[in-house]
Protein backbone atom coordinates (compact mmCIF):
# COMPACT_ATOMS: atom_id res chain seq x y z
CA UNK A 1 0.00 0.00 0.00
CA UNK A 2 1.22 3.48 -0.89
CA UNK A 3 0.59 6.31 1.56
CA UNK A 4 0.17 9.90 0.36
CA UNK A 5 -0.35 12.83 2.73
CA UNK A 6 -1.66 16.29 1.88
CA UNK A 7 -0.02 18.73 4.27
CA UNK A 8 1.02 22.36 4.59
CA UNK A 9 1.93 24.77 7.35
CA UNK A 10 -0.75 27.15 5.97
CA UNK A 11 -4.47 26.62 5.91
CA UNK A 12 -6.71 27.50 2.98
CA UNK A 13 -4.33 26.23 0.31
CA UNK A 14 -6.53 23.43 -1.05
CA UNK A 15 -5.42 20.35 0.87
CA UNK A 16 -8.90 18.89 1.14
CA UNK A 17 -9.87 19.41 -2.50
CA UNK A 18 -6.58 17.78 -3.53
CA UNK A 19 -7.04 14.87 -1.14
CA UNK A 20 -10.59 14.13 -2.28
CA UNK A 21 -9.94 14.55 -6.00
CA UNK A 22 -6.69 12.58 -6.04
CA UNK A 23 -8.39 9.79 -4.12
CA UNK A 24 -11.26 9.73 -6.61
CA UNK A 25 -8.90 9.77 -9.60
CA UNK A 26 -6.94 6.86 -8.13
CA UNK A 27 -10.21 5.03 -7.58
CA UNK A 28 -11.25 5.70 -11.18
CA UNK A 29 -7.92 4.21 -12.16
CA UNK A 30 -8.89 0.92 -10.53
CA UNK A 31 -7.23 1.21 -7.11
CA UNK A 32 -8.99 0.36 -3.85
CA UNK A 33 -8.59 3.62 -1.91
CA UNK A 34 -8.99 4.74 1.69
CA UNK A 35 -9.04 8.43 2.66
CA UNK A 36 -8.37 9.27 6.31
CA UNK A 37 -9.67 12.71 7.26
CA UNK A 38 -7.30 13.80 10.03
CA UNK A 39 -8.56 17.38 10.14
CA UNK A 40 -11.05 18.06 12.96
CA UNK A 41 -12.97 20.38 10.61
CA UNK A 42 -14.02 17.30 8.65
CA UNK A 43 -14.22 18.84 5.18
CA UNK A 44 -13.26 15.64 3.35
CA UNK A 45 -15.77 13.70 5.44
CA UNK A 46 -18.48 16.19 4.49
CA UNK A 47 -17.73 16.08 0.75
CA UNK A 48 -17.70 12.29 0.68
CA UNK A 49 -20.99 12.02 2.55
CA UNK A 50 -19.51 10.51 5.69
CA UNK A 51 -20.62 10.86 9.29
CA UNK A 52 -18.14 12.62 11.55
CA UNK A 53 -17.15 10.83 14.74
CA UNK A 54 -14.99 7.79 15.35
CA UNK A 55 -17.38 6.16 17.76
CA UNK A 56 -14.93 4.70 20.24
CA UNK A 57 -12.68 6.71 22.50
CA UNK A 58 -10.20 8.29 20.15
CA UNK A 59 -7.29 7.96 22.55
CA UNK A 60 -7.68 4.16 22.42
CA UNK A 61 -7.85 4.21 18.63
CA UNK A 62 -4.71 6.31 18.29
CA UNK A 63 -2.93 4.23 20.92
CA UNK A 64 -3.65 1.12 18.85
CA UNK A 65 -5.78 -0.42 21.60
CA UNK A 66 -8.87 -0.46 19.38
CA UNK A 67 -8.70 -1.30 15.65
CA UNK A 68 -9.09 1.70 13.38
CA UNK A 69 -10.48 -0.53 10.68
CA UNK A 70 -13.77 -0.87 12.56
CA UNK A 71 -14.37 2.87 12.06
CA UNK A 72 -14.12 2.80 8.24
CA UNK A 73 -17.20 4.04 6.41
CA UNK A 74 -18.29 3.28 2.87
CA UNK A 75 -18.76 6.04 0.33
CA UNK A 76 -21.11 6.03 -2.69
CA UNK A 77 -18.22 4.60 -4.72
CA UNK A 78 -17.39 0.92 -4.28
CA UNK A 79 -13.83 0.28 -3.02
CA UNK A 80 -13.40 3.96 -2.13
CA UNK A 81 -13.72 4.17 1.64
CA UNK A 82 -13.43 6.83 4.33
CA UNK A 83 -11.99 6.98 7.81
CA UNK A 84 -13.95 10.00 9.03
CA UNK A 85 -12.91 13.07 10.94
CA UNK A 86 -13.71 13.55 14.61
CA UNK A 87 -13.94 16.86 16.44
CA UNK A 88 -11.61 15.37 19.06
CA UNK A 89 -8.85 15.31 16.44
CA UNK A 90 -8.22 18.93 17.42
CA UNK A 91 -6.24 17.31 20.24
CA UNK A 92 -4.40 15.03 17.82
CA UNK A 93 -0.91 16.26 18.70
CA UNK A 94 -1.46 15.80 22.41
CA UNK A 95 -2.89 12.33 21.84
CA UNK A 96 0.06 11.34 19.67
CA UNK A 97 2.50 12.70 22.24
CA UNK A 98 0.74 10.83 25.04
CA UNK A 99 0.21 7.55 23.25
CA UNK A 100 2.79 7.33 20.50
CA UNK A 101 5.59 4.85 20.94
CA UNK A 102 8.33 6.57 18.97
CA UNK A 103 8.16 8.48 15.71
CA UNK A 104 6.94 5.46 13.73
CA UNK A 105 3.68 5.14 15.64
CA UNK A 106 1.52 6.51 12.83
CA UNK A 107 3.19 4.15 10.37
CA UNK A 108 2.40 1.18 12.61
CA UNK A 109 -1.14 2.40 13.13
CA UNK A 110 -1.98 2.45 9.41
CA UNK A 111 -0.03 -0.64 8.36
CA UNK A 112 -3.01 -3.07 8.69
CA UNK A 113 -4.91 -1.17 5.99
CA UNK A 114 -2.40 -2.49 3.47
CA UNK A 115 -4.29 -5.79 3.45
CA UNK A 116 -7.32 -4.17 1.79
CA UNK A 117 -6.21 -0.96 0.09
CA UNK A 118 -3.63 -0.07 -2.55
CA UNK A 119 -3.61 3.62 -1.63
CA UNK A 120 -4.15 5.53 1.59
CA UNK A 121 -4.56 9.30 1.38
CA UNK A 122 -4.22 11.40 4.53
CA UNK A 123 -5.96 14.79 4.62
CA UNK A 124 -3.93 16.52 7.32
CA UNK A 125 -4.60 19.66 9.37
CA UNK A 126 -2.29 22.66 8.85
CA UNK A 127 0.59 23.47 11.16
CA UNK A 128 3.95 22.23 12.37
CA UNK A 129 3.22 19.40 14.72
CA UNK A 130 3.95 15.92 16.01
CA UNK A 131 1.76 14.66 13.17
CA UNK A 132 3.99 16.42 10.63
CA UNK A 133 7.05 14.78 12.19
CA UNK A 134 5.42 11.34 11.98
CA UNK A 135 4.28 11.80 8.39
CA UNK A 136 7.90 11.66 7.29
CA UNK A 137 8.07 8.08 8.58
CA UNK A 138 4.59 7.02 7.50
CA UNK A 139 4.07 8.51 4.03
CA UNK A 140 5.65 7.54 0.73
CA UNK A 141 4.93 11.06 -0.48
CA UNK A 142 3.86 14.31 1.21
CA UNK A 143 2.16 16.59 -1.29
CA UNK A 144 2.29 20.28 -0.39
CA UNK A 145 -0.34 22.41 -2.15
CA UNK A 146 1.33 25.78 -2.71
CA UNK A 147 -0.30 29.00 -3.89
CA UNK A 148 2.18 31.02 -6.01
CA UNK A 149 2.92 33.77 -3.48
CA UNK A 150 5.88 34.87 -1.33
CA UNK A 151 4.05 33.88 1.88
CA UNK A 152 3.56 30.36 0.55
CA UNK A 153 7.27 30.08 -0.18
CA UNK A 154 8.04 31.31 3.33
CA UNK A 155 5.68 28.72 4.80
CA UNK A 156 7.28 25.96 2.73
CA UNK A 157 10.76 27.02 3.86
CA UNK A 158 9.67 27.00 7.50
CA UNK A 159 8.19 23.56 7.03
CA UNK A 160 11.48 22.24 5.63
CA UNK A 161 13.42 23.88 8.46
CA UNK A 162 11.12 22.46 11.14
CA UNK A 163 11.23 18.92 9.82
CA UNK A 164 15.04 18.97 9.48
CA UNK A 165 14.92 16.39 6.70
CA UNK A 166 17.64 14.09 5.51
CA UNK A 167 18.19 13.94 1.74
CA UNK A 168 16.06 10.83 1.18
CA UNK A 169 13.29 12.25 3.35
CA UNK A 170 13.39 15.55 1.49
CA UNK A 171 12.72 13.67 -1.74
CA UNK A 172 9.37 12.55 -0.32
CA UNK A 173 8.17 16.14 -0.05
CA UNK A 174 6.51 17.28 -3.28
CA UNK A 175 5.10 20.80 -3.59
CA UNK A 176 2.68 21.55 -6.40
CA UNK A 177 1.15 24.85 -7.40
CA UNK A 178 -2.53 25.18 -6.54
CA UNK A 179 -5.21 27.85 -7.04
CA UNK A 180 -3.24 29.16 -10.00
CA UNK A 181 -4.54 32.18 -11.90
CA UNK A 182 -2.38 32.63 -14.99
CA UNK A 183 -3.75 36.13 -15.49
CA UNK A 184 -1.59 37.15 -12.54
CA UNK A 185 1.97 37.89 -13.58
CA UNK A 186 3.56 36.22 -10.57
CA UNK A 187 1.55 33.03 -11.05
CA UNK A 188 2.50 32.82 -14.72
CA UNK A 189 6.15 33.56 -13.98
CA UNK A 190 6.46 30.94 -11.27
CA UNK A 191 4.89 28.25 -13.45
CA UNK A 192 7.70 28.88 -15.92
CA UNK A 193 10.46 29.40 -13.35
CA UNK A 194 9.68 28.33 -9.76
CA UNK A 195 11.54 30.11 -6.95
CA UNK A 196 14.66 28.32 -5.74
CA UNK A 197 13.20 27.86 -2.23
CA UNK A 198 10.47 25.62 -3.65
CA UNK A 199 12.97 23.31 -5.29
CA UNK A 200 11.45 21.25 -8.09
CA UNK A 201 7.67 21.28 -7.82
CA UNK A 202 5.54 18.75 -9.60
CA UNK A 203 4.95 19.52 -13.25
CA UNK A 204 1.19 19.38 -12.89
CA UNK A 205 -0.63 22.35 -11.36
CA UNK A 206 -4.22 23.08 -10.42
CA UNK A 207 -6.04 26.20 -11.67
CA UNK A 208 -8.26 28.41 -9.57
CA UNK A 209 -11.81 27.37 -10.43
CA UNK A 210 -15.19 28.16 -8.92
CA UNK A 211 -16.32 24.59 -9.57
CA UNK A 212 -13.98 23.44 -6.76
CA UNK A 213 -16.08 25.46 -4.29
CA UNK A 214 -19.19 23.60 -5.48
CA UNK A 215 -17.75 20.32 -4.22
CA UNK A 216 -18.79 21.16 -0.66
CA UNK A 217 -22.27 22.21 -1.82
CA UNK A 218 -23.01 19.10 -3.85
CA UNK A 219 -20.82 16.66 -1.89
CA UNK A 220 -19.13 15.14 -4.90
CA UNK A 221 -15.56 15.03 -6.21
CA UNK A 222 -14.88 16.90 -9.44
CA UNK A 223 -14.79 13.71 -11.52
CA UNK A 224 -18.51 13.30 -10.77
CA UNK A 225 -19.48 16.95 -10.44
CA UNK A 226 -17.78 18.38 -13.53
CA UNK A 227 -15.97 15.58 -15.38
CA UNK A 228 -14.79 17.76 -18.28
CA UNK A 229 -13.79 20.90 -16.39
CA UNK A 230 -10.18 22.14 -16.61
CA UNK A 231 -9.78 21.62 -12.86
CA UNK A 232 -10.88 17.99 -13.13
CA UNK A 233 -8.43 17.34 -15.94
CA UNK A 234 -5.68 19.07 -13.95
CA UNK A 235 -6.22 16.74 -11.00
CA UNK A 236 -6.20 13.82 -13.43
CA UNK A 237 -2.78 14.92 -14.69
CA UNK A 238 -1.54 15.37 -11.13
CA UNK A 239 -2.66 11.86 -10.25
CA UNK A 240 -0.96 10.43 -13.36
CA UNK A 241 2.29 12.18 -12.40
CA UNK A 242 2.06 10.97 -8.81
CA UNK A 243 1.22 7.43 -9.92
CA UNK A 244 4.30 7.34 -12.14
CA UNK A 245 6.58 8.67 -9.40
CA UNK A 246 5.31 6.10 -6.90
CA UNK A 247 5.61 3.34 -9.51
CA UNK A 248 2.05 2.17 -9.02
CA UNK A 249 1.50 -0.41 -11.74
CA UNK A 250 -2.28 -0.19 -12.05
Comparing C-alpha atoms, which of 154, 146, 234 is closest to residue 190? 146
Please say if the pLDDT value at position 91 is more than 80.
no
How many CB atoms are located within 10 Å of the residue 57 CB? 12
Residue-level pLDDT at 65: 76
- pLDDT tens profile 93-144: 777 776 556 677 888 889 999 999 999 999 999 887 788 888 888 899 999 9
Q: Which CATH class is domain 2-245?
A: alpha beta
DSSP secondary structure, 27-70, as one string: HHTT--EEEEE--TT-HHHHHTT-----SS-HHHHHTTSS-GGG
Dist CA 28 CA 80 (whole Å) = 9
Residue-level pLDDT at 176: 97
The answer to pTM > 0.85 is yes
CB 174 within 8 A of CB 142: yes
Q: With pLDDT > 70 as the criterion, what percentage of the chain qualifies?
A: 96
pLDDT average, residue stretch 199-224: 95
pLDDT average, residue stretch 154-182: 85
CB 145 within 8 A of CB 8: yes
Please say if the pLDDT value at position 54 is more than 90.
no
Give the residue extent of every domain in the chain: 2-245
Helix, strand or coil, per DSSP, at residue 158: helix
Residue-level pLDDT at 90: 72
Amino acid sequence: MKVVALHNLKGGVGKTSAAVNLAREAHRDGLPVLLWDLDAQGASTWILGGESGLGKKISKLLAGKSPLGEQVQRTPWERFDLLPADIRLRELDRLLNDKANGDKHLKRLIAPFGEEYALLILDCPPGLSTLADQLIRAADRILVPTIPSPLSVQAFSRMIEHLDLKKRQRERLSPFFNLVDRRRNLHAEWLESPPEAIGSPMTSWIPYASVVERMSLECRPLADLAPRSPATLAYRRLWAELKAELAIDR
